Homo-oligomer: A and B are copies of this chain.
Amino acid sequence: MRGSGRPTMNDVAAAAGVSLKTVSRVINAEPNVDPALADRVREAIDRLGYHRNALAASLRSGTNDTIGFLAADLSNSFSMGIAAAVSAVASQRGLHVLMASSEEDPAVERRLALDLCQRRVGGLILVPAATDHGYLAPEVAHGTPVVFLDRPGDGIPADTVLLDNRGGARAAVAELLGGHERIGLLLDATEIYTMRERLAGAEEAFAAAGRALDPSLLVTGIHTPQDAAAATARLLDGPRPPTALFCGNNRATVGALEELTRRDADVAVTGFDDFELSWMLPRPLRVVAYDVAALGALAATTLLDRIAGDAAAPPALHLVPTTLVDRGGRQRTPTG
């Protein structure tokens, strides 16, 4: 798109009969301007409908007041909660946010990330879709810090903000191990970092209890609630039907609950991720919950601190804690 004939500072200066610099002083509220001149300038500004070109200003001054947020998939509620928090923190500090979504495609991530850098974002919050981020090395070297969010990145020094996936899963499974002999596990593909961590946490819980995870009760590659419902049915109809299920994400939890409710089966369920209206569900369940907004806000403040501070300081790893929360079973109000 082409720019149109907007008035410039020069136009305002001509209209007010003052120099360019005087207009600049008025716009930027610099001291030492004759009030009479300032009024004339303001009148001209209003009359012409002038406002300054922030891009030109930042080109000349070298300042930069935008950050980039590149989600893996903006359309899920997790990314959205994060985006809202990032936007809130940025807005509070007078910064703007360029948002984009890689759609979980490493090539798209790369293109968009470099695009954002070309637009001179002061820093980048990235939910990795790619596994190698070496392509960002020149950017980081030239002073555009990156913060990895939710999943670790690789190939560049960068602060990282992660959920305590392992600890959350460990606590959840440990709790189930207290009352159950046979525990089924429903996870998405273990190629996914968070799933590997959650499985590792579950294994830690088994090990700590001196027990072994039954491989026949472990189902991976569950993408949709339908997958989870089918897997649940299969486990229940199998030779060693579980009396408890640990679900690796909210889609798995929803699908498992659906099948269990259909059968009216007495199986305890604990799922990673809370979800909207989980407290409204008819049957009780536990969820590994966490504060999505806090996660986004932490990523944003980490980035802004890095921008303001020492670029060379060693990267930090922040783990956001999880809590085990009772849901469903018709509670009065949402909590946690």
Instruction: Give A residues with C-beta under 8 Å from B.
Output: 1-7, 49, 51-56, 58-59, 62-66, 74-75, 77, 80-81, 83-85, 87-88, 91, 96-101, 112, 114-120, 122, 137-139, 141-143, 225-226, 254, 257-258, 261-262, 275-277, 280-282, 293, 307-308, 330, 333-334
Contact = CB atoms under 8 A, between A and B. Distances in A.
17 contacts: A6-B142, A49-B139, A54-B120, A55-B55, A55-B59, A75-B293, A77-B77, A80-B81, A83-B99, A87-B99, A91-B101, A96-B119, A97-B99, A225-B333, A257-B280, A276-B277, A282-B282
Nearest to A112: B91
Contacts of A117: 51
A280 B308 contact: no
A137 to B, nearest CB: 8
B53 A120 contact: yes
A333 to B, nearest CB: 7
- The 3 A-B residue pairs with the shortest CB-CB distance in the complex, in nearest-first order: A49-B138, A80-B80, A3-B62
Given A51-B138, A54-B115, A254-B277, 18 more contacts: A1-B63, A1-B122, A2-B62, A3-B62, A49-B142, A51-B139, A53-B120, A54-B120, A77-B276, A83-B99, A87-B99, A91-B101, A96-B98, A254-B280, A258-B280, A275-B276, A275-B277, A277-B281
Given A1-B64, A51-B114, A99 B99 contact: yes
A331 to B, nearest CB: 10
Nearest to A68: B96
Contacts of A330: 261-262
Nearest to A116: B96
A100 B97 contact: yes
Nearest to A54: B118
Q: Which of A99, A118, A138 has the most CB of B within 10 A?
A: A99
A55 B319 CA distance: 36
A75 B64 contact: no
A11 to B, nearest CB: 12
B3 A64 contact: yes
Given A56-B59, A280-B254, A101 B87 contact: yes
B4 A143 contact: yes
B84 A80 contact: yes
Contact of A97 (B62, B98, B226): B98
A88 B51 CA distance: 30
Contacts of A98: 66, 96-99
Contacts of A88: 74, 101
A52 B118 contact: yes
A167 to B, nearest CB: 26
Contacts of A4: 142-143
A261 B330 CA distance: 9
Nearest to A97: B99
